[in-house]
A and B are shown apart, each in its own frame.
Chain A
Amino acid sequence: MKKVWNYLRSMRFGILLLVLIGLCAVVGSLIPQGRELSWYVENYPSFHPTLFFLQLYDVFKSWYFLALTGLLCLNLTLCSLVRIRSVVRGGRELRPRAALLPDEVKLTSVGVKKLEEHLLATGCRKNEQGSARVYSKRLVGRYGSFLTHLAILLTVIFGAAGLSLPQVTDRDCLPGESVRLPDGAEFAVRSFRSTDESGKLDYASELTIVLPDGRSRSGEISVNHPMSLGPYKVYQQTYGTAGSVTVTNLENGGSDDFLLPEPAFLTLDNYNGLWVLAVYPDYYLTPDGVITPTGSADGDYPNPVYLLQRSEDGVQTQEAAFPGTVLEVGGLSYRFNAPERYPGLRIKYTPAIINTLLFASFALMIAGLYITFFLQPVLVKVDDEGYAVGGPKPEGMRLELKELLGGYERGE
C-alpha cells in the first residue's frame, strides 16, 4: 500500500500523466472535435468504429482524459502536501545542514579569501556555524517549486470549474428590444453599430442590464469588452442582418417600422398582405431579366434585395423589392428600407468567485515560476580548507565558483 501511495505522489507518475495528457491533446488536435457523428463516418470510413470506441471525436470530454486530469490533481495534491512539510521544516534547518556538508572543493587560503570576498560582494549574508561560515542569499527561492505546483493544481481545479459551471445563453436581440431570462434578468439593446468613429470594423451594442434584485447597469459592449453585473457577463458575440420595412395603414395613415430577422407575414386581415421571406446582400440579373439573389463573402450588403410573396385575394405571387421600393397590398403600404444590423448576445452566468480564484491561481503560478527559476537560492558553506555548495539548486553556483576559483583549487 505504501508503495502505491509513494508512486501516486511521485514525480515519475506526474510526468507519465503529463505525457499521456499530451498524447491525448495531440490526437484531439489532429481529429476535428465535437462534430456530428455522421461526419466522422463519412470522413473516416474505415477508422470510425475505433474512433467511436475510443471517443476520439470528443477526446477532451472522454472518461480517460478526465481520469488522467483527476489523477494529475491527485498527484499534485499529494506532492504539494509532502513539499509543504519539507518547505516549512527545511527553512529552519538550511544553514545548520549546509554547515555539515563535507568540502566538495579544496582551496588554497588565497582561494578561500577570494571566495568569501566574492560571496559578500554578490550580496550573500554570512552566518557563522561552528568552524564553518555559511553564505546565503535568495532563500525565498526554496518556496518556488511548491508554489508553482500548488498553483497548477488550483488552476486545473478552478479552470475546470470555470469551464463547466457557467450557463451560457446565446440570443439575437433587435435594437429597441430586450432578452428576458427565466430568473427575471433583462438585457435591453438600445442600439448596435458595426464600425467605430473612424470607420474601422468594430461591433458594439448599447445595452442595459437589469437584475431581478433591481440592480442595473448601462453601457456599451464590444468584441473584447464584455459588460458584467452580478453573476452575469454579456458579450458582443455575433451579428445578423434584418430586413427593415415601414408599413402604413392607407385608411388611417398610422405607420410602424418593422425589423424582420425572420420571414414574416405583414397583413391587416390575415388574408391579404405581404410575406417578407428574406433579404439578400446582393443579386444578379439573368439574361431573361430574372433577379437571382446571392450572398456576400464579407458580410456586407452592397445591393440588398428583398424576396417577397404577395398574397392578394387568394393569389400568391413572388416578387422582389429594393430599398426605396413602395408596394401596396390589402390596405397597407410597404416601404422597404436598407437592411439593419442587430447584435447576437452571449449571456454568461458564472459565480463571480470562480474567476477571482482562477486569476489568483494564474498570478500564483507566474510568481511561483519566477521564484523557482530567477530567485534560485544560494547556500555556500566555507571553511579554511575549501567549500561546498548546498541548497535545492546548487548547479549554477557550482559552475560559477568553479570558473571563478579554477586556479586556486588544491589537489588531494
Chain B
Amino acid sequence: MRILFFAAVALYAAAVILQFAGTAFKKNKLLKASWLVFLAALAIHTVFLIVRGIVARRLPLSNQFEFANAFAWGVALMLAVLRTRLKSDWLSVVAMPMALLVLVYAALQPMEIHDLMPALRSAWFGVHIGSAVLAYAAFVIAGSIALRYVLAVKKGADEDDLKLKQMDYLSYRLVAFGFLFLTVVILSGAIWAEQAWSAFWTWDPKEVWALITWIIYAVYLHQRLRSKKRGLGMAWFLIIAVPVVFFTFAGVNTLLPGLHSYG
C-alpha cells in the first residue's frame, strides 16, 4: 500500500516540475504532459485512499497522515474539477504545488494504521472531518487563485479585464463553499463534543483556531459582499489567510496540545 502513496507523491512532484518547466519555457506540450501526469497521480492517490479505507475498515481520516492525504486529495480533486469546468490551465501552476506541499507533510507523519480510539467511533466522524477536508481544500484553492490573480496584476494585467474579474469571483465562490463547510465542521464538532465530552465547546486550541479561521473568512465575505471590496486587496487577504488554514490543520496539533492532539 505504501508504494501507492509514494507513487502518487512522485507523480504529483513530476507534474509540478513539468508545470513549472512548461510555464517558464512556454511549452504547451510540457503543460499537457503535466496535466496528464497530475491526473495519473490523482487516480493513484484515490486508489490509495480507497485501499487504506478498506484495510482500516473505516474512513481514512483518523490521524495527521490520513487527514493530510485527504486534504491533498481534496485540493487535487477541486483543481481537476475547476480546470475541466473552466477549460483553462491558469490555476494549475499555483494549485498543484499546494497539493504536493500537503502530501509532503503527510509523508513526514507516521503511516501506521491504528484502530480508532473510542472517542472517534462516532457517526459524526465522517461528517466532521470530511467537511474539514472540503473546507480547507476550498480555502487553499481560493488562495491559489488569489495568488494567480496577484501575479497577473503584477505582470501588468488590467483589473477590469473580464478574466481577472472571473478569477476574483471564483475565489469568492470557493471561499463561500469553504465557509459553509467550515461552519458544518464547527457545528458538527460541537454536537459530537457534547456526546463525547459532555460540553458543546471547551475552548480547546483546535476549536479556537477553527473559530479564528471562520472569523477570518467571515470578515472576507463581509468585506466582499457588503463593502463591495474586490481585486488586489481581497486577493492578498486570501493569500495571507492560507497560512492560518495550514496552522489550524497542522500547527495546532503540533504546537498546542489539547483534546484534538490525537488527530
Contacts and interface: CB of A to CB of B under 8 A. Distances in A.
Query: Do A and B actually bind?
Result: yes
A316 B117 CA distance: 45
Contact of A25 (B169, B183, B211): B211
Contacts of B215: 18-19, 21-22, 25
B151 interface: no
Interface in A362-409: 362, 365-366, 369-370, 372-374, 393, 395-396, 399, 402-403, 406
Nearest to B230: A395
B56 interface: no
Contacts of B197: 235
A25 B118 CA distance: 29
Contact of B198 (A168, A370, A395): A168
Contact of B200 (A19, A346, A358, A366): A358
B21 to A, nearest CB: 31
Interface in B115-129: 115, 117-119, 121-122
B154 interface: no
A196 to B, nearest CB: 9
A362 to B, nearest CB: 4
Contacts of B216: 22
Contacts, number: 112
B54 interface: no
B200 A237 contact: no
A370 B176 CA distance: 9
A18 B219 contact: yes
A385 B184 CA distance: 45
Interface stretch (B88-96, B105-113, B220-228): B220-228
Given A29-B209, A29-B256, A365 B122 contact: no
Interface in A211-255: 222-226, 233, 235, 237
Given A25-B208, A399-B166, A163 B118 contact: no
B240 interface: no
B20 interface: no
Interface stretch (B44-52, B69-77, B188-196): B188-196
Contacts of B119: 223-224
A72 B123 CA distance: 33
Contacts of B169: 395-396, 399
A120 interface: no
Contacts of A175: none
A26 B198 contact: no
B152 interface: no
Nearest to B218: A18
A191 to B, nearest CB: 17
- Pick from B121, B173, B198, B199 the residue with the most CB of A within 10 Å: B198
Contacts of A202: 118, 121
Contacts of B187: 362, 365-366
The dominant DSSP class at the B interface is helix
A11 B122 contact: no
A28 B208 CA distance: 8
A222 B180 contact: no
A222 B122 CA distance: 11
Contacts of A373: 173, 176-177, 179-180
A282 B232 CA distance: 64
B166 A15 contact: no
A86 to B, nearest CB: 13
Contact of B201 (A163, A224, A395): A163
- Pick from B119, B172, B194, B222 the residue with the most CB of A within 10 Å: B194
Contacts of A225: 195
Interface string B24-67: 00000000000000000000000000000000000000000000
B203 interface: yes
Interface in B147-168: 162, 165-166
Contacts of B190: 159, 362
Nearest to B175: A373
B148 to A, nearest CB: 17
Nearest to A396: B169
A29 B91 CA distance: 35
A14 interface: yes
A223 B118 contact: yes
B231 interface: no
Given A22-B212, A22-B216, A223 B205 contact: no
A290 interface: no
A403 B200 contact: no
Given A201-B117, A366-B183, A233 B219 contact: no
B118 A28 contact: no
A25 B179 CA distance: 19
A369 B183 contact: yes
Contacts of B208: 25-26, 28-29
A224 B199 CA distance: 12
B211 A159 contact: no
A109 interface: no
A223 B196 contact: yes
Closest 8 pairs between A and B when the two form their complex, measured CB to CB: A373-B176, A223-B118, A22-B215, A29-B208, A362-B187, A224-B122, A29-B205, A369-B180
Given A237-B198, A374-B176, 5 more contacts: A25-B209, A33-B203, A166-B199, A203-B118, A362-B191
20 contacts: A11-B226, A18-B215, A18-B219, A19-B219, A25-B209, A25-B215, A26-B212, A29-B205, A29-B212, A163-B200, A163-B201, A224-B192, A224-B196, A226-B198, A237-B198, A346-B198, A355-B194, A359-B191, A366-B184, A373-B180
Interface of A: 11, 14-15, 18-19, 21-22, 25-26, 28-30, 33, 60, 145, 159, 162-163, 166, 168, 200-203, 222-226, 233, 235, 237, 346, 348, 355, 358-359, 362, 365-366, 369-370, 372-374, 393, 395-396, 399, 402-403, 406
